[in-house]
Amino acid sequence: MYLVHISLKSLKKKACKSSVTVVDKLLKKHDFCRRQAFKTEAFQKNIPHRDEQFKNIERLKQEYHDTGNPVIRQFVQKKELIGNFYSKGKLYTQEIIPVHDHDFPSAKMVKSFLMDCMIYTVMLVI
């Protein structure tokens, strides 16, 4: 099995008649179906201090809420992880695509920058 990318335009140039229906039938005939990644593989079994950061963020957020201060969340850049990580979207395959159950950044991870913008969400306590 080879991974190829052929558009309908290029098939028409080669005098091959094709359509979405024909391609769907061929994929189905060869047991391909549209799938999404399935989070089954444990990234790490025992991560030390795993919940500390989340508990600290929640504690700080609650402190600010209690004093009437706004909470500002900042998402600097949307990054897509490259590797065995979950990604939205579907592709045609014959098997389930197992990926890590959590997407923790690590030194060996490569990131692809999709956007270069900042998004601010302000939550005011009334």
Percentage of the chain lying above the pLDDT 90 cut = 0
Residue 105 predicted with pLDDT over 50: yes
The model's pLDDT over 14-57, given as tens digits with 9 standing for 90+, comes to: 766 777 788 788 888 888 877 777 777 666 666 677 778 778 88
The model's pLDDT over 3-13, given as tens digits with 9 standing for 90+, comes to: 556 666 776 77
Predicted TM-score (pTM) of this structure: 0.30
* DSSP H or E stretch at residue 35: strand 33-36
The model's pLDDT over 69-98, given as tens digits with 9 standing for 90+, comes to: 766 665 555 566 666 777 777 777 777 777
The full set of domain ranges for the chain reads 36-123
Under 8 Å CB-to-CB from 121, ≥6 apart: which residues?
Answer: 72, 73
Under 8 Å CB-to-CB from 89, ≥6 apart: which residues?
Answer: 36
Q: How does DSSP classify residue 122?
A: E
Distance CA 78, CA 90 (A): 19
φ, ψ at 7 (rounded to 5°): -85, 160
- Bridge partners (DSSP) of residue 99 are 39
